[in-house]
Every structure is written in structure tokens, then in C-alpha cells.
């Protein structure tokens, strides 16, 4: 009888300890939030705003650690291989997680190596044209390209970037012949557009000052709804191009796969609370980011839907980075 009671007590202790994963003690030390970009960019700066507030709720510092390199593969691979204990997290554009495994055969991670915590913010993409191009709308741009097929070029960022894929989606859905010119980021691309070295730019809303100064023209916001920073620019959806309502322009927070559910839920709750904070929202909006929280579960569904949407685009365009 005494042996049975002792065995039952031991089993109860083991089950309780394993199911709780020490949640009552988590976090007991600082958490590192890995950013796969250098300091000072929009991803890094927005991460620091959110991390500071999350740390207040978690009662432990959430420290942003920059691990750039390899087209974001260095930082991403580092988190993918980290211990799933809630002390190493990842913040990145959705494009890094979704597209790199599609286009790079030997990338050191896959989507399933991560557990979503939530979506933080979103941002829109713009279809821009050189100010001297005689078009004002997306249908006019399509008609103009078709008059001189193959003579116009577009750019936005590197080969295999989301901007590149949006351009390939545009080419296939609108049936236009447009040449892609890769650049090492948006700044060289907007410079090329201003100088008419390319005629079309697929760039983020962060380039809207050039639109407002009439240095370039915006023919469409690539989203379902108009952007409040450019309320007079019609969306691609409004202009009859539903495929160009892009939702992949957003930042996600993730943990390594197999991070215990209770820890993920605690992180998810602290992220949501941080994004509800008035000062956090104001700081992010000044960065031209829209707070657009999604729960861990809905972020997972979002990732799955984006993989399904973009896989055929990558395959059709034969986009492979070796």
C-alpha cells in the first residue's frame, strides 16, 4: 500500500513538472530577440519599441540582438537551431520565413522550424513609375507596357525578394513583358527610378515622400484598402487586379519549433498587450507601420496561406538562388 502511494506521488510530480514546464518561473532571465538585419533599419527599430514594452510585462528584459548576413539566413538559421525554451525569439518580415526556403535549396532552415508567436505590424507596397512615364493608373501602365513589350524594366530589391515576386505575379496576371533589374535594397532602386534607369518600381510605403513631392508617380497601392498616407491613390483591387492585393508585407515574431505551448501563450499575451499600448502604437505609426496583431494560431494560418499563394509564382518564374 505504501509503495502504491509513493509511486502515485512520484507520477503526479513528474506529470505536473513536465506539463507546467516551469511556467511559473518563466521568464527567469533576459530573453534575446534576434533581428536578422543590421541596427538602425525599420525592422530593428520597431523590434526595440515592442521588446521594451514586452519586457515590462514579462518582468525580464527582452534584448534585441542583431545577426545580419546571408540575406537574413544567418540570424534565421541561428534561431531555428536554438533551444526551444522561450529565451531565443525571432523577429522578421514574413518574406524571410516564407520565401527563402522556396528559392534557396540549401538555406539552413525551413518554415516548420518555427512556432509563431504573433504578427506585429504590416506595411503596404506601391507600384511606382518614373514621373515622365505617361500613365496614371495600373490599367494605363499595362496598356503602355503592351505597346512596347520588353522595353521597360522594374526593380525593387534583390533577386528573390518579395518585390521581385510581386513583379512576377504582376507579369503573369496582367500578361505583360517587363524586365526585372535587381538592386541591393530599396534605396538604390528608388534612385534608379528617379533617374529613369528603370521605369517601374515595386517598393514599400516607406517611399511615399517621393510620391508626395511628385518625384515619382504612384499608380497603385498593392493592398485591399487604401493607405492613409496616400489616400488619393487607388488600390490594385479597385483597379481590377485582385491578385496584387499583397498581404505578405508584415513583421512576425516567432520562437523555435517545439517551444512549450504555455510559454508561447505567455509571449503571445505580452506581445498583444505591448501592441495595445498607446505610446507603442504612436511610435510604430511614426515609422509608417500599421499595428496589425494576429494571434499565434492565426499567424500560423497566415503563413500557410502565403506559402500556398507564392509557391506557384516561384515555380513558374523559376526563381532559384544558388
Summarised one tens digit per residue, pLDDT across range 270-320 is 999 999 999 999 999 998 899 999 999 999 999 999 999 999 988 888 888
- How many whole angstroms separate alpha carbon 127 and alpha carbon 132? 15
- Residue 40 has, within 13 A of its CA and on its CB side, a CA count of 1
The pLDDT profile of the chain, 322 residues, written as one tens digit per residue, is 445 444 444 444 444 444 444 456 899 999 999 999 888 888 899 999 999 999 999 999 999 999 988 778 889 999 999 999 999 999 999 988 888 888 887 888 889 999 999 999 999 999 999 999 999 999 999 999 999 888 899 998 888 888 999 999 999 999 999 999 988 788 899 999 999 999 999 999 989 999 999 999 999 999 989 998 999 999 999 999 999 999 888 999 999 999 999 999 999 999 999 999 999 999 999 988 999 999 999 999 999 999 999 999 888 888 887 7
CB-based burial label for 145 (10 Å; 0-12, 13-18, 19+): buried
At residue 21, the pLDDT reads 46
C-alpha cell at 35: 533581428
At residue 78, the pLDDT reads 95
Domains assigned to the chain? 23-123+249-317 (3.40.190.150), 125-244 (3.40.190.10)
pTM (whole model) above 0.85: no
- How many whole angstroms separate alpha carbon 91 and alpha carbon 75? 10
At residue 208, the pLDDT reads 92
How big is the chain by its Cα radius of gyration, in Å? 22
At residue 294, the pLDDT reads 96
Question: Measured between alpha carbons, how far is residue 304 from residues 53, 88, 298, 299 in Å?
Answer: 29, 23, 10, 9
At residue 292, the pLDDT reads 93
* CB < 8 Å & 24+ apart, contacts of 132-137: 132/196, 133/199, 133/200, 133/217, 135/217, 135/219, 136/217, 136/219, 137/219, 137/220, 137/234, 137/239
Residue 235 and residue 226 in contact, taking contact as beta carbons nearer than 8 Å: yes
Amino acid at each position: 500500500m505504501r509503495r502504491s502511494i509513493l509511486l502515485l506521488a512520484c507520477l503526479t510530480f513528474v506529470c505536473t513538472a513536465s506539463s507546467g514546464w516551469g511556467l511559473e518561473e518563466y521568464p527567469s532571465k533576459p530573453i534575446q530577440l534576434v533581428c536578422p538585419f543590421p541596427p538602425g533599419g525599420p525592422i530593428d527599430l520597431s523590434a526595440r519599441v515592442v521588446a521594451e514594452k514586452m519586457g515590462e510585462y514579462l518582468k525580464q528584459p527582452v534584448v534585441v540582438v542583431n545577426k545580419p548576413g546571408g540575406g537574413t539566413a544567418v540570424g534565421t538559421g541561428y534561431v531555428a537551431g536554438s533551444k526551444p525554451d522561450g529565451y531565443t525569439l525571432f523577429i522578421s518580415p514574413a518574406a524571410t520565413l516564407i520565401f527563402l526556403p522556396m528559392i534557396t535549396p540549401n538555406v539552413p532552415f525551413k518554415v516548420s522550424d518555427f512556432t509563431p508567436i504573433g504578427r506585429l505590424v504590416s506595411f503596404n507596397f506601391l507600384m511606382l513609375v518614373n514621373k515622365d512615364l505617361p500613365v496614371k493608373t495600373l490599367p494605363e501602365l499595362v496598356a503602355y507596357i503592351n505597346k512596347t513589350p520588353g522595353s521597360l524594366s522594374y526593380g525593387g530589391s534583390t533577386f528573390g525578394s518579395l518585390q521581385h515576386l510581386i513583379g512576377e505575379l504582376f507579369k503573369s496576371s496582367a500578361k505583360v513583358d517587363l524586365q526585372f533589374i535587381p538592386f541591393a535594397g530599396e534605396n538604390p532602386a528608388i534612385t534608379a527610378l528617379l533617374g529613369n534607369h528603370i521605369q517601374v518600381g515595386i517598393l514599400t510605403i516607406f517611399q511615399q515622400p517621393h510620391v508626395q513631392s511628385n518625384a515619382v508617380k504612384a499608380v497603385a497601392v498593392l493592398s485591399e484598402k487604401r493607405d492613409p498616407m496616400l489616400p488619393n491613390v487607388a488600390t490594385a483591387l479597385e483597379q481590377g487586379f485582385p491578385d496584387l492585393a499583397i498581404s505578405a508585407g508584415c513583421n512576425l515574431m516567432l520562437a523555435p519549433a517545439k517551444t512549450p505551448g504555455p510559454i508561447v501563450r505567455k509571449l503571445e499575451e505580452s506581445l498583444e498587450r505591448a501592441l495595445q499600448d498607446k505610446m507603442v502604437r504612436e511610435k510604430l505609426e511614426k515609422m509608417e507601420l500599421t499595428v496589425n496583431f494576429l494571434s499565434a494560431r492565426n499567424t500560423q494560418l497566415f503563413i500557410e496561406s502565403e506559402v500556398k499563394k507564392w509557391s506557384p509564382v516561384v515555380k513558374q518564374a523559376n526563381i532559384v538562388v544558388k
